[in-house]
A and B are shown apart, each in its own frame.
Chain A
């Protein structure tokens, strides 16, 4: 091959590769990352649904009581099914197939992993006490991982109050619950978590804040 041809081929290959790069040495290339990000962005813009995850059925949930948890971005229809990946004392870590995890203590989020802004840990013991006594005030201490890889701690004052009885749907089944609203605020943020608690005192459904950067997620125990 003459060098003139080689040059033409090079031009062609550069054009064809576009932003992408290949080979084991290029696995972490920004080009690959950027193309992923652009794809995600386009998908969001055109409303193309993300690839469908295996759907959890009522039958599967009934056959394995307590084995599953449904996670979705608040307000979005796409649900991920989570299964237990680890238990440490009263804290249970639930993980999805695409490796997003949520750690719950008595049904309340105390940590997340794999979100764009993770809750690294939370002390929610006072919130649990307030829920047990059907309302009251609580202090919440929450840690996030910031853009400089440092842990930032937020101290929040929260007020928990009953919102009355509501029937909620959990994977095709209607469940009678009492709704509790937890209004938390600090100097810079304010948000409201909602818990729907069934007769057995289990949080059947909840809407909880992961972090300011992520927003709320919905959790359902089918």
Chain B
């Protein structure tokens, strides 16, 4: 991939150069993938790991095992997790009868103990489908060893479903007879039969019969490989587990990598089936556009030696100075909001509309200041505003900028010499007349995935989206969004029944916005402010989100250099009508929700959040979230919510949990952008632990301009 992108932007010379750099790598870039979307053979795992931070998405199909879409994230060099969504019919029932189609979500974990040595194989332990209904529930220990540079030999021991082909008495029985028999997974029953899935089947782990599996992978060329395995999954008929009539435990496959980040798989399964799979890999750490496509900044304007002696300047020039700076900042997509200049110091307040990295914006503003500030001004203080609120103050010495520009180590040195404080008072700043338009709008296509509506488990909705935004003043903004689907009027209704004693606060979402008319997604009046230098506030009023309207208020304590932040939010909302118009009379459901939140930045890219409070269905509980954040704006995280809604009331999945991913636009497009796209893979969106989706919560707003986030992207200061 790198090669082709370099070719377009930089010419062929770079391509050959990139190849030269890659020559140290092994025959193929990382391990190949199974039909379960994990590194391994065909159905069976190996001890191999993908490169750290790799995210692999695999789509696989075979007639017997149906469709599987899997995501595997290599969390650390040794530890990986997978989420899988499968549609299949493997009960030996009449295949033509869609009643028996199963929609199955599953999770895997794998840990590799060691790097492969000269004589010692890499060894890994893993759990397949350990959460949820556990239809493929297996545990394994596996060892893989390369022989020469092209062959990898794998052997392993499996339990659970992986212990069903030629299984034998569990060797762990020698440790304790606890391991001899595997209890029936009580939770593996369908909705309405007493179980809801979603709980961890710890009671089963490594118990019952074990069986041996193994295989070979041979890399013919860097792009082409073959593999063969002996599978220890017999696919016997058991209660609510997939069954296949296996003709042979030997499976064979061919892998082909047309590009380093794409793998095509095909082969022969069970002695009866052909399978097909495609895997695409993405690594947040490897931005395709490397440092990005931002245009060069204006270089620093260095003061002449004889001008350095000046200690004052002619204040009559102040208005002209302000106008000139505003114009220069506009070039950078930055709005000047306020300016205070004394003989030796200048303080500017600005809103950066262009750069994801506020550190980069600071660097650019500082260089623009150097173009116009009188020579006597030595101290620059920069206060970025986010949603109209100043969130920090970075103080730089102009002579440091002059001394360090374009020198090795300049980024680190500048960071050390900079001072970070809470933003100063409004007093003293002379407001700059608004540069940008108070009224902004946008029209564009949208595409949304609709999950589990009456017509099927997954469907795409496309249409047009109209956005508008009007700034009453810096702190007070009206904004709204209307969509018109191209699909027209569609029947509403959920794929599943949702029998519970609570209002269907989210599960009725499948009835919303289906009548083919324009849908008002949101229309709000939002106020952002600063109560004290470290406490921020927000009030949002109106049609807050697609299902609820009302009022939402929040306060956040977040000192500029603190790893800890604390917040409180209260909302009073009513459920909107299904046509997503202006009315609230269809459900007549009002609810007060809210939470106390704690946020903690562990450093090294780990960010935790805990919310305790009341959720939309009136249930009380807490949400725990942990995100891995990359300095370039990528985030991969997970969360779960436990509330006082009983599991059997919650329904399938038992409680709300999910994986979420945020990708910054500039990762793909290269040119600077503040925007990102987020998606949450929920096991199922249901009524328990449901939270109001209000735009622009304070923590995510404020932190972008504070010390931790500035540190992350400080490498862009001089860019």
Query: Which listed residue (B8, B440, B715) contacts A145, Cβ 8 A?
Result: B715
Q: Given A33-B668, A151-B411, are A215 and B486 neighbors across the interface (CB < 8 Å)?
A: no
Binds A, one of B142-150, B281-289, B524-532, B613-621: B281-289
Q: Given A10-B463, A122-B408, are A213 and B484 neighbors across the interface (CB < 8 Å)?
A: no
Cα–Cα, bound, A3→B407 (Å): 63
Interface: B223 (CB within 8 A): no
Query: Once the chains bind, are A144 and B668 in contact (CB under 8 Å)?
Result: no
Cα–Cα, bound, A122→B718 (Å): 13
Query: Once the chains bind, are A99 and B296 in contact (CB under 8 Å)?
Result: yes
Interface: A121 (CB within 8 A): yes
B595 to chain A, nearest CB (A): 30
Cα–Cα, bound, A151→B718 (Å): 10
A116 contacts across to B, CB distance below 8 A: 6, 9-10, 289-293, 670
Query: Once the chains bind, are B467 and A23 in contact (CB under 8 Å)?
Result: yes
Interface: B98 (CB within 8 A): no
Interface: A163 (CB within 8 A): no
B633 to chain A, nearest CB (A): 8
Per-residue contact bits, chain A 182-222, to B (CB 8 Å; 1 contact, 0 not): 00000011110000000000000000000111111000000
Within 8 A of A (CB), among B21-41: 21, 24
Query: Once the chains bind, are A123 and B408 in contact (CB under 8 Å)?
Result: yes
Which of A87, A101, A112, A120 is most buried by chain B, counting CB atoms within 10 A of its CB?
A120
Query: Which listed residue (B7, B17, B406, B670) contacts A88, Cβ 8 A?
Result: B406
Cα–Cα, bound, A122→B407 (Å): 7
Within 8 A of B (CB), among A38-67: 40-41, 44
B20 contacts across to A, CB distance below 8 A: 189-190
Q: Given A100-B296, A114-B296, A213-B6, are A26 and B442 neighbors across the interface (CB < 8 Å)?
A: yes
Query: Which listed residue (A14, A114, A153) contacts B464, Cβ 8 A?
Result: A14
Interface: A159 (CB within 8 A): no
Query: Once the chains bind, are B8 and A120 in contact (CB under 8 Å)?
Result: no
Binds A, one of B76-84, B373-381, B671-679, B699-707: B671-679
Interface: B713 (CB within 8 A): yes
Q: Given A120-B719, A145-B716, A188-B21, are A30 and B484 neighbors across the interface (CB < 8 Å)?
A: no
Query: Once the chains bind, are A6 and B518 in contact (CB under 8 Å)?
Result: yes
A24 to chain B, nearest CB (A): 4
Binds B, one of A69-77, A127-135, A170-178: A69-77
B516 contacts across to A, CB distance below 8 A: 3-4, 7
Query: Once the chains bind, are A21 and B445 in contact (CB under 8 Å)?
Result: yes
What is the number of residues of chain B that contact chain A, defined by CB distance less than 8 Å? Answer: 84
Query: Once the chains bind, are B21 and A145 in contact (CB under 8 Å)?
Result: no
Binds A, one of B111-119, B123-131, B297-305, B640-648: B297-305
Per-residue contact bits, chain A 1-43, to B (CB 8 Å; 1 contact, 0 not): 0011011001101100101111111101111111011001100
Cα–Cα, bound, A40→B289 (Å): 14
B160 to chain A, nearest CB (A): 39
Could you say which interface size class chain A belongs to? 35 or more
Query: Once the chains bind, are A24 and B291 in contact (CB under 8 Å)?
Result: no
Looking across the interface, which residue of chain A has its beta carbon closest to that of B605? Answer: A148
Query: Once the chains bind, are A74 and B437 in contact (CB under 8 Å)?
Result: no
B298 contacts across to A, CB distance below 8 A: 85-86
Query: Which listed residue (A28, A91, A113, A146) contacts B296, Cβ 8 A?
Result: A113
Query: Once the chains bind, are A33 and B13 in contact (CB under 8 Å)?
Result: no
Query: Once the chains bind, are A215 and B291 in contact (CB under 8 Å)?
Result: no
Query: Once the chains bind, are B13 and A74 in contact (CB under 8 Å)?
Result: yes
Cα–Cα, bound, A144→B719 (Å): 11
Interface: B488 (CB within 8 A): yes
Query: Once the chains bind, are B302 and A88 in contact (CB under 8 Å)?
Result: yes
Query: Once the chains bind, are B296 and A101 in contact (CB under 8 Å)?
Result: yes
Interface: B441 (CB within 8 A): yes
Looking across the interface, which residue of chain B has its beta carbon closest to that of A23? Answer: B442
Which of A86, A191, A211 is most buried by chain B, counting CB atoms within 10 A of its CB?
A86
Query: Once the chains bind, are B408 and A147 in contact (CB under 8 Å)?
Result: no
B705 to chain A, nearest CB (A): 16
Query: Once the chains bind, are B301 and A86 in contact (CB under 8 Å)?
Result: yes
Per-residue contact bits, chain B 513-528, to A (CB 8 Å; 1 contact, 0 not): 0001110000000000
Interface: A81 (CB within 8 A): no
Interface: B506 (CB within 8 A): no
A99 contacts across to B, CB distance below 8 A: 295-296
Looking across the interface, which residue of chain A has its beta carbon closest to that of B299? Answer: A86
Interface: B712 (CB within 8 A): yes
Cα–Cα, bound, A113→B298 (Å): 10
Query: Once the chains bind, are B299 and A101 in contact (CB under 8 Å)?
Result: yes
Query: Once the chains bind, are A149 and B357 in contact (CB under 8 Å)?
Result: yes
B446 to chain A, nearest CB (A): 9
A-B contact pairs, 28 of them (CB 8 A): A6-B517, A6-B518, A7-B485, A23-B443, A23-B467, A24-B441, A29-B442, A30-B669, A31-B444, A37-B669, A44-B7, A44-B8, A74-B11, A89-B302, A95-B299, A99-B295, A101-B296, A110-B406, A113-B296, A115-B291, A143-B409, A145-B719, A147-B285, A148-B631, A149-B357, A212-B17, A213-B10, A215-B13
| B contact set with A: CB distance below 8 Å | 2, 6-14, 17-18, 20-21, 24, 285-287, 289-302, 354, 357, 402, 405-412, 437, 440-445, 462-464, 467-469, 484-489, 516-518, 630-632, 665, 668-675, 677, 712-713, 715-716, 718-719
Nearest 4 pairs of A and B residues by beta carbon: A21-B444, A33-B669, A86-B299, A23-B442
